[in-house]
């Protein structure tokens, strides 16, 4: 009958052969990475883990101590460095599992007549405990990674995506945290100048001592104090003094200090007044090719509350370039543990002055990647490139 429902037979499901299943499983495990990429990733993870544990290990051999005895002692220190990263309950489980796997003590029961004997291979149960410990550690890592991702999103809200339009300047930013969250800070934002009649622009690049969550929390307090104080009609010197007093209250007696470069730019005169608080000296490349360094300032913020800061002023001219960076850029290491260095950074700058800031900045970051190779990034990297047009 026309118009009647005609059931459609389902298409036959094609069965996957064994090799296809293995390939799908392997791709799921490796995320599609090649073997050389997996090996490089493993090397980076191994170096990072070694740096974590070796902080608590005295690797150098004291005079008069035999090599064999020294390396036994180093192995013990590494073992304790790993063990103490676990909770007490997990330490006990790990020790129990290692005893089972290494020594495999024989356990069993025999009936009264001696005709039946039941034995247990404790290596299996030791391996099972190790697997359970792995699952627990992975669960902790997943929870921490989720929390860190939320922290990273909040931190990114504090940093500008694009620079504001500043008359006569072209600006580009780049930052690359060593971990999920970072202790580097950068910003360019307008404010009323201290005379309260003209508009100026604040340039800020800062680096909190340390990495990860502690540094990120202090970076957030630095950002909040800077934005709050910059909204008041005070000079750059007064601004830095006030930030330093606040930083000293949160630096754990100077242990968590902050290096910073703070500048105030006035478009009508092209004058940049700056204070360098213990930060890497920015590079000012004049149109003629001459390199100047912006050094005037004082100690890092958060060390001495009553310290004084020297300010200086430079006049920017058309064709000049200004590069402000944190130590993670110039201290990036290659596989031979050699640092990138300011000489190489200046060389890239000198060879890219015909480029717009965004492309020059991209060239700097690519050159850093080529230089470092598979070496894990050990510090946060931040770079601000400014072209005077």
Whether 106 has a pLDDT exceeding 70, the answer reads no
Q: Which residues pair with 95 in a beta bridge?
A: none
How confident is the model at residue 112, as a pLDDT?
57
The H or E element that residue 318 is part of is none
Tokens describing residue 158 = 């504090």
Whether 236 has a pLDDT exceeding 70, the answer reads yes
Range from 37-46, 168-177, 303-312 carrying the lowest mean pLDDT: 37-46
What sign does the dihedral 177-178-180-181 (CA atoms) show? negative
The H or E element that residue 29 is part of is helix 18-30
Question: Which carries the bigger pLDDT value, residue 3 or residue 17?
Answer: 17
Whether 161 has a pLDDT exceeding 60, the answer reads yes
Q: How many other C-beta atoms lie within 10 A of the C-beta of residue 123?
A: 14
How confident is the model at residue 7, as a pLDDT?
58
Confidence of residue 143 (pLDDT cuts 50, 70, 90): confident
Q: What is the pLDDT of residues 252-300, one digit of tens each?
A: 766 789 999 999 999 999 999 999 999 999 999 999 999 999 999 999 9
Whether 1 has a pLDDT exceeding 60, the answer reads no
Alpha carbon distance 259, 206 (integer Å): 6
Tokens describing residue 279 = 């930060």
Domains of the chain (ranges; CATH) run 18-154 (no CATH), 161-388 (3.60.40.10)
Q: Which residues pair with 322 in a beta bridge?
A: 284, 386
Range from 77-81, 145-149, 239-243, 267-271 carrying the lowest mean pLDDT: 145-149
Closest of 361, 311, 369, 318 to residue 162, by C-alpha? 361
Global model pTM greater than 0.85: no
Residue partners of 262: CB distance under 8 A and separation at least 6: 202, 203, 204, 226, 236, 239, 240, 274, 275, 277
Whether 145 has a pLDDT exceeding 70, the answer reads yes
Residue partners of 384: CB distance under 8 A and separation at least 6: 171, 172, 173, 174, 186, 188, 203, 205, 322, 323, 324, 325
- 158 in the Ramachandran plot: left (φ > 0), alpha (ψ -120 to 50) or beta? alpha
How confident is the model at residue 324, as a pLDDT?
96
How confident is the model at residue 111, as a pLDDT?
56
Q: Are strands 107-110 and 117-120 parallel, antiparallel or unpaired?
A: antiparallel
Confidence of residue 139 (pLDDT cuts 50, 70, 90): confident
% the chain with pLDDT above 90: 41
Whether 200 has a pLDDT exceeding 50, the answer reads yes
Whether 79 has a pLDDT exceeding 70, the answer reads yes
Q: What is the pLDDT of residues 318-376, one digit of tens each?
A: 999 999 999 999 999 998 889 999 999 999 999 999 999 999 999 999 999 999 988 88
Range from 82-91, 199-208, 238-247, 336-345 carrying the lowest mean pLDDT: 82-91
Tokens describing residue 354 = 């015909």
Give me the mean pLDDT over the 141-160 stretch: 78
Give me the mean pLDDT over the 86-113 stretch: 78
% the chain with pLDDT above 70: 89
Tokens describing residue 387 = 């072209």
Q: How many other C-beta atoms lie within 10 A of the C-beta of residue 234?
A: 15
Q: How many other C-beta atoms lie within 10 A of the C-beta of residue 263?
A: 26
Alpha carbon distance 256, 221 (integer Å): 12
Quickly list H helices, 231-289: 236-248
Whether 179 has a pLDDT exceeding 70, the answer reads yes
Tokens describing residue 25 = 């499983």
Range from 92-96, 100-104, 267-271 carrying the lowest mean pLDDT: 100-104
For the chain, give the mean pLDDT: 85
Burial of 73 (0-12, 13-18, 19+ CB in 10 A): middle
How confident is the model at residue 124, as a pLDDT?
85
Under 8 Å between Cβ of 311 and 296: yes
Alpha carbon distance 263, 281 (integer Å): 12
Tokens describing residue 250 = 């949160």
Alpha carbon distance 160, 250 (integer Å): 24
Whether 187 has a pLDDT exceeding 60, the answer reads yes
């Amino acid at each position: 009958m026309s118009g009647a429902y005609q059931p459609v037979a389902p298409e036959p499901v094609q069965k996957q052969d064994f090799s296809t299943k293995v390939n799908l499983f392997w791709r799921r495990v490796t995320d599609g990475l090649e073997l050389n990429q997996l090996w490089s990733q493993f090397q980076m993870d191994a170096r990072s883990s070694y740096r974590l544990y070796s902080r608590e290990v005295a690797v150098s051999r004291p005079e008069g101590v035999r090599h064999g005895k020294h390396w036994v002692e180093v192995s013990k220190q590494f073992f304790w460095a790993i063990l103490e990263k676990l909770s007490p309950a997990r330490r006990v489980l790990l020790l129990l599992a290692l005893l089972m796997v290494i020594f495999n003590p024989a356990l069993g029961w025999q009936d009264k007549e001696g005709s039946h004997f039941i034995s247990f291979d404790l290596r299996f149960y030791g391996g099972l405990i190790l697997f359970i410990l792995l699952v627990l550690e992975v669960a902790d890592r997943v929870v921490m990674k989720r929390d860190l991702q939320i922290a990273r999103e909040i931190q990114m809200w504090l940093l500008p995506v694009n620079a504001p339009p500043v008359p006569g300047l072209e600006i580009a930013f780049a930052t690359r945290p060593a971990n999920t969250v970072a202790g580097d800070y950068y910003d360019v934002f307008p404010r009323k100048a201290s005379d309260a009649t003209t508009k100026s622009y604040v340039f800020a690049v800062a680096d909190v001592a340390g990495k990860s969550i502690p540094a990120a929390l202090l970076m957030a307090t630095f950002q909040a104090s800077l934005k709050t104080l910059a909204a008041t009609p005070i000079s750059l010197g007064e601004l830095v003094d006030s930030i330093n007093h606040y930083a000293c209250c949160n630096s754990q007696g100077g242990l968590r200090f902050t290096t910073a470069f703070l500048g105030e730019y006035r478009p009508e005169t092209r004058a940049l007044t700056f204070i360098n608080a213990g930060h890497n000296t920015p590079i000012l490349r004049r149109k003629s090719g001459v390199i100047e360094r912006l050094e005037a300032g004082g100690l890092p913020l958060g060390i001495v509350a009553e310290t004084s800061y020297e300010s200086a002023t430079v006049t920017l001219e058309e064709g000049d370039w200004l590069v402000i960076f944190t130590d993670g850029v110039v201290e990036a290491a290659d596989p031979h543990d050699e640092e990138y260095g300011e000489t190489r950074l200046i060389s890239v700058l000198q060879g890219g002055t015909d480029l717009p800031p965004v492309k020059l900045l991209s060239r700097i970051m690519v050159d850093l990647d080529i230089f470092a190779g598979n070496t894990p990034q050990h510090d946060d990297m931040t770079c601000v490139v400014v072209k005077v047009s």
